Amino acid sequence: MLKHHNALGVALSLRPTQPATLVRPHAARRAARFFMSKFPGTSMYAVKANPSPDLIRTLWDAGLTHFDVASIAEVRLVRDVAPNATLCFMHPVKAPEAIAEAYHTHGVRVFSLDSIEELDKIVAATARDGVAATDLTLCVRLRVSSSHSKLSLASKFGVPADEAAPVLMAARQVADALGICFHVGSQAMSPQAYGDALAQVRAAIVAAGVTVDIVDVGGGFPSVYPGMEPGRLEAYFEVIHRGFEALPISYSAELWCEPGRALCAEYSSVLVRVEARKGDVLYINDGAYGALFDAAHIDWRFPVTLVREEASRAKPMEFSFWGPTCDDMDYMRGPFALPADIAAGDYIEIGMLGAYGAAMRTGFNGFTAGETVMVSDEPMDTLYAVTEESPDKIIQLRQH
Domain total in the chain: 2
pLDDT at residue 397 tops 50 = no
Shared domain check, 181 and 51: yes
- The verdict on 180 and 95 lying in the same domain is yes
Domain-located, residue 335: yes
Same domain, yes or no, for 223 and 106? yes
Residue 101 has a CB neighbour count (10 Å cut-off) of 16
| Mean pLDDT lowest among 23-27, 147-151, 312-316 | 147-151
- Specify if 163 maps to a domain: yes
pLDDT the model gives residue 385:
67
Domain with residue 364: its CATH number is 2.40.37.10
Evaluated on CA atoms 66, 72, 77, 79, the torsion sign reads: positive
Within-domain flag for 395: no
Give the CATH number of the domain where residue 252 resides. 3.20.20.10
Q: Are residues 252 and 331 in the same domain?
A: no
Rg (CA), the chain: 22
**393: pLDDT strictly greater than 50:** no
223 pLDDT higher than 80: yes
Report the alpha-carbon distance of residue 70 to residue 89 in Å, rounded: 6
Domain's final residue, options 236, 264, 292: 264
Average pLDDT over every residue of 347-369: 92
Model confidence over 247-284: pLDDT tens digits?
A: 999 889 999 999 999 999 999 999 999 999 999 999 99
Q: For 65-88, what is the mean pLDDT?
A: 98
DSSP character at residue 296: H
Task: Identify whether 220 is part of a domain.
Answer: yes
Do 260 and 337 reside in the same domain of the chain? no
Residue 391's pLDDT is: 38
What band does 129 get if pLDDT is binned at 50, 70 and 90? very high
Do residue 56 and residue 151 come from a single domain? yes
Beta bridge partners of 271: 20, 349
169 shares a domain with 37: yes
The reply to whether 339 falls in a domain is yes
- How far apart (Å, rounded) are the C-alpha atoms in residues 126 and 132? 7
pLDDT in tens, 136-172: 999 999 999 888 888 877 788 999 999 999 999 999 9
* Residue 139 appears among annotated catalytic residues: no
Domain encompassing residue 195: 26-264
Identify whether residues 272 and 260 lie together within a single domain.
no
Is a pLDDT exceeding 80 seen at residue 327?
A: yes
Average pLDDT for the chain: 93
For residues 171 and 302, state if they share a domain: no
Q: Report how far apart the first and last C-alpha atoms of the chain are (Å, whole number).
A: 37
What percent of the chain has a predicted confidence (pLDDT) above 90? 88
pLDDT reported for residue 80: 98
pLDDT of residue 226: 93
Choose the catalytic residue: 88, 139, 181, 326.
326
Sign of CA dihedral 362, 367, 370, 374: negative
Which pTM was predicted?
0.92
Cis peptide preceding 335, ω within 30 of 0: yes
Claim to verify: residue 211 and residue 342 sit in the same structural domain: no
The verdict on residue 38 lying in a domain is: yes
